[in-house]
Structure 1
Amino acid sequence: MKAAIYTRKSKFTEEGESIENQINMCIKYADNILGITDYEVYEDEGFSGGNIDRPQFKKLMRDIKTKKFTHLICYRLDRISRNVADFTTTLEILNKYECSFVSIKEQFDTSSAMGRAMMNISATFAQLERETIAERIKDNLRELSKTGRWLGGPAPMGYKSIEVENNDSKGKSRKKHILEINPNEIETIKLVFKLFIKYKSFQRVSRELEKNGIYSRSGTVFSRELVKQAISNPIYVIADKQLFEYLKSNGAELHEENKINGKFGAMPYNRRKENGSFAPISSWIVSVGDHPGIVDSATWIECQHIQNDIKLIVSNRQCTSEHALLSGLVICGHCGASMAPRKQTNKLSNGTKTLYRYYTCNLKNKSATRCDNKALNAYDAEDYVVNKIKSTTQEDIMKLYLSSKERSDIKFTNNKTIEKLKNQIKGNEKSISSLIRKVSTLDETVESQYLIQKNYESEILKLSVENKQLDNKIIELENQNENISDLRKDLSDITELYENFKKFYDYTESFEDKKRLIRSVVKFVVWDSDNEKLDIIPVGSSLQRSDFGNLAFRSKEQRN
């Protein structure tokens, strides 16, 4: 038997169950209760349990799918995930690959039916508690909305946040933040709305702003996402009855309508979901703010209608990716970004319409000046890839991979580098522990010692960030080593995949099955319009998508 030990902590801190404490408790449980002395540790420090997008957790799941472990041990249920859906999905994977799950604190073990049932009940109650907290937060926002106040944080473009003091109902002095017009940015916001009504395209507005030398507050390109955020934000609109009627018809909760005076802007609350994405209008709580509005309600509402029309056009199309055999596989050979499938209908001179499908660089979609790679004809690309796979011989397959000696050399070098990086991490951890001990002995009331403490804390943070970067590098090298090992072991299986492709592709009717057949042998493809070259990177290759990311922003001469 072999156990995987998984630990997670949201941020670097000496309080609570530290990563080290979690590991020690899991090791003791494995040894004393399960009788397992063979184990491997996976650590994610600085990652939230709100989702499972964590590097070490992903690696753990990959290893479990190879049936590397008989048990997964963690200190507490929420170390895996605080989301019931994610947790349930994880349990299904564990069950499928015959890996028992043990949670020490809750004393759950999925090797028994009762353990599985109790674990699901516990996870459900934990989510119920989180939803109750979320409802309380919404109640608080509802009360705050009655004040129309700005809750602080970076002001949206077009405004600046000013701290002011006033007295509450008990005469006690309180600080709050209010929004004032930023004269350097207000014209940009007005222009964004004007251009959007003219062009009815987020991307076109972004390009027009860049063409005219107008950038975001941070000096970066005013991307289509920034345009969309500005257009969607009701904070810019002057609150009036027309606006409130529109918001009410879309399900928003409204307050302080009596403050409408044709000058103040709307103040929205609860515009984001728990996962950070933007919520629909039906989830908003909107009041009349104390700040001046920038655009009139008719303009803002017209922009929302245009947005809805854009969404309708997209939803009424048959999903583009469902007709793109290489969806998710195409990489831009100029900047390393993914290339997304798109389509448009062109009208010919004789009046007939023809569908044109292509793949375009996502970076270029955001800003035309950031990448000069031309679109890839989808029909030609898909035919080329399919025919190339069909014509692949056994000799070709062998040539696609590095020789055993070359791969052994790569793995040997990687292992040496990993060992060096781990030693560097250990050295940093010792330095961090030493600095923490020094901080604990300082008297922060003494000015000179207070400054020393700040320097220590800054150094601790610097070392912690460096360790996280080193961890990511180790993960990258370990993944590369895994690719090498898997290839050497499964070369005959990969040959069989090519044979299956040749046998079944032409007789497969399901579009999704055709995509799966392609993905069984193609890792990704790289398009370079300068040389009109489409490179196919096969499954098992040591090349990663990230290997092409360093091409970003290179000139044509540098790429060649």
Structure 2
Amino acid sequence: MKVALYIRVSTEEQAREGFSIPEQKDRLKAFCIAHGWHDYEFYIDDGYSAKDTNRPAFQRLMENIRNRRIQMVMTTKIDRLTRRLIDLLTFVEELDVYQCTYKSASETFDTGTAVGRMVLQLLGVFAEFERERIAERVRENMYHAAKQGKAVTTPCFGYDVVAGQYVVNEQEAKWVRKMAEMALNGHGTWNIAKMLNEHHVLTKRGREWTSKAVRIFLWDNEMLRGNLVWNQHTRKKGKTVERPSSEWLFVENTHEPILDSATYERLQAVLEQHQRAAPRSKHSDFLLSGIVFCGHCGSKMYGLNTAIKRARNREYRPPVKYLCSGYSKKGRCFHHYIHSSVLDEQVINEIISFGQCDLTVPVPTVVVQEQQLRGDITQAKRQLAFLDERFQRQIRAFEIGILDEQQLLDAKQRLAAEKTEVLQKIQALEKTLQTEISPEVVQKKIRERIAVLKEVVADDDRDRLKNIVRELVHQVTVYDGSQIEITFSV
């Protein structure tokens, strides 16, 4: 009879007595010798959690079971196999199919009998309960560590962890500043990735940069300006998903920033403009693709490459144009268009002319920072509601006897302190909203970006021009194929 001796140690358990690999090996080997089983083989997963069965040695074990090379599987304890009841039941069911049994060196049961299978399922329930309790304790410890500004997550590019704190890695930080500078000067994420790879700069995981990696790194990465966001993501069915913002823990000024707040805010505004463009618009040859709209029906006007025509024994291509999609795709408008070269030139000239005139006259503007600030205020108010809900749960726990009176008072005091922090944050955001989004600030930003646009036009760099236009212009509205209206974005 061939016996498979399965051993597993998770990272957290390696220092725990009774869980080390040598101890498990000695115990299982002694168990086999005592029962006269000499044909055995070890399957070892070192540093793998029991939260799922995605482990190399376990998968190799299952493959050998399916090929009928194994007649028995044995572990020191059931939780070495798995801590999820559904995984355990699936495992036992598959063992039955291939005439294989399971034994535990610590628990006295045998899956070859009905009673043994029942006991196994009961133990599986307790193993899963223990795993969830451990997860709760770990999350609670991480929550309190994060509130104190300690390093609880892997540092991003530009930082290292030293003595439990995030510390700037200057060799990486200089490239972070370069990335931000390029983005603010109109370079896209593809150009930034190309620059990094040409200088042999690798990501934190030792890989080459991609356009997507650059965008994910720069977008909404609060760590770059010295803040910590914890509990933002979770794993579900093997995928990383974002939690509701009300469950996030946001702690300000936990470490030295690489980018100051003003630079960080400008960077997010630039990335927001690029994000607004549809995927096809980003790679389109049309300068204004994705931001041109029909003034009559509100539909987008899309760039249309005209087909080659033949006349008088010669081929020619008519000028490319922007066409109203409301007419061409939905039949709800009338046929009108504008040549792309005409619109591009008209938009550039009008933007430059704005910079030469008195901007005390209000211009149509969408303020991205205002939208972000209002979003942050909404998120903070949701966090307040979440704290109230947490206190209600503490009261229910007191009512049913889980918490005593002193524990309830401690919880109340702790939550009151957290609410004070959130309220102060809301007040600061509202003050910023009132003072920094003034008409004077908006006009100054428009003038600065128009100055950059002039430089890019002079350099004849179309890719940068496309990015700068998207950073500066929220929407171009076209009427009757000739008149245009520009809505700025800052």
Q: TM-score, normalised by structure 1?
A: 0.40
Q: TM-score, normalised by structure 2?
A: 0.44
- Structure whose CA Rg is larger: 2
